[in-house]
Amino acid sequence: MARISLFDIVGPIMVGPSSSHTAGAVRLGLATRRILGEEVRKATIYLHGSFAATYWGHRTDVALIAGLLGMGMADERIPRALELAQDAGLEYSFHSANLGDVHPNSVEIKVQGDHGQLTVGGASIGGGRINLFNIDGFEAAVDGSYTVLMTKHRDEPGVIAEITRILAHHGINIAFLDVSRKMRGSEAMLLAETDDPIPSEVIEHVQRLPGVLMVRSLPCF
């Protein structure tokens, strides 16, 4: 018999009304902000399926913007997120879209900061849980329950081995490791979900590796 946790029964600590359409949406916005690694200045958001059909009543739009502003799902400021976005100069727009064969509560979020831009595809799968299934065109499977070391690097021999060696040297255990590439010999993305926080010296060491183009440490979100 499958085990059921108290979290599955009661649900997350959150500002409602819905764990799927509100709490999960906050986490999707927050994850996108953390991957971008800076303040979000502009967001173009494409809502799919149930998200597109019911977002206004469940305040999914408010929740996504709250996450992009850096709020967690229990933040009491969530209901005021659109007002706070205006104060912060965050420009945003919402659109309905067919994202294909994905979960009904899915969204594609395109964001821009002062120094970069990013596209994230993700789904709110119930009870406040999420799944990021695409990051800048790379396939992914990240649920935010682990710290994640994320790199974008040239697809060439030795880069992945060096990254995992650095983690091992610092005593950081890898729980899950996923590598995706768009095309052989071009760019690849590594997502290492770890049991331990990732200190800044690890990030600096990985960033210095030949072939590494970008590195982020993403705490649980």
Question: Domain segments of the chain: what residues?
Answer: 13-136, 147-218
For residue 98, which of 59, 46, 53, 56 has the smallest C-alpha distance?
46
Which tokens go with 48?
Answer: 């799919």
As a whole number of angstroms, the distance between CA 81 and CA 129 comes to 21
| pLDDT tens, residue order, the chain (221 aa) | 433 343 443 344 444 445 556 889 999 999 999 999 999 999 999 999 999 998 776 789 999 999 999 999 889 999 999 999 999 999 999 999 999 999 999 999 999 999 999 999 999 998 889 999 999 999 999 999 999 999 999 999 999 999 999 999 999 999 999 999 988 889 999 999 999 999 999 999 999 999 999 999 999 88
> Residues with Cβ < 8 Å from 185, sequence gap 6 or more?
155, 156
CA angle 58, 64, 65 (to 5 degrees): 115
Backbone angles phi, psi at 11, to 5 degrees: 95, 175
As a whole number of angstroms, the distance between CA 184 and CA 13 comes to 43
pLDDT value, residue 128: 84
Environment class of 167 (CB within 10 Å of its CB; exposed 0-12, middle 13-18, buried 19+): buried
If you compute the radius of gyration of the chain from its CA atoms, what whole number of angstroms results?
18
Q: What stretches of the chain show up as alpha helix (H) in DSSP? A: 6-10, 24-36, 49-58, 60-68, 81-88, 159-169, 200-207
pLDDT value, residue 57: 65
Cβ pair 124, 21 in contact under 8 A: yes
pLDDT value, residue 185: 84
Tell me: domain 13-136, CATH 3.30.1330.90, correct?
Answer: yes
pLDDT value, residue 160: 96
pLDDT value, residue 3: 38
Q: Which fold has domain 147-218?
A: Alpha-Beta Plaits (3.30.70)
CA dihedral of 110, 211, 203, 70, whole degrees rounded to 10: 0
Cβ pair 158, 209 in contact under 8 A: no
Environment class of 3 (CB within 10 Å of its CB; exposed 0-12, middle 13-18, buried 19+): exposed
Environment class of 133 (CB within 10 Å of its CB; exposed 0-12, middle 13-18, buried 19+): middle
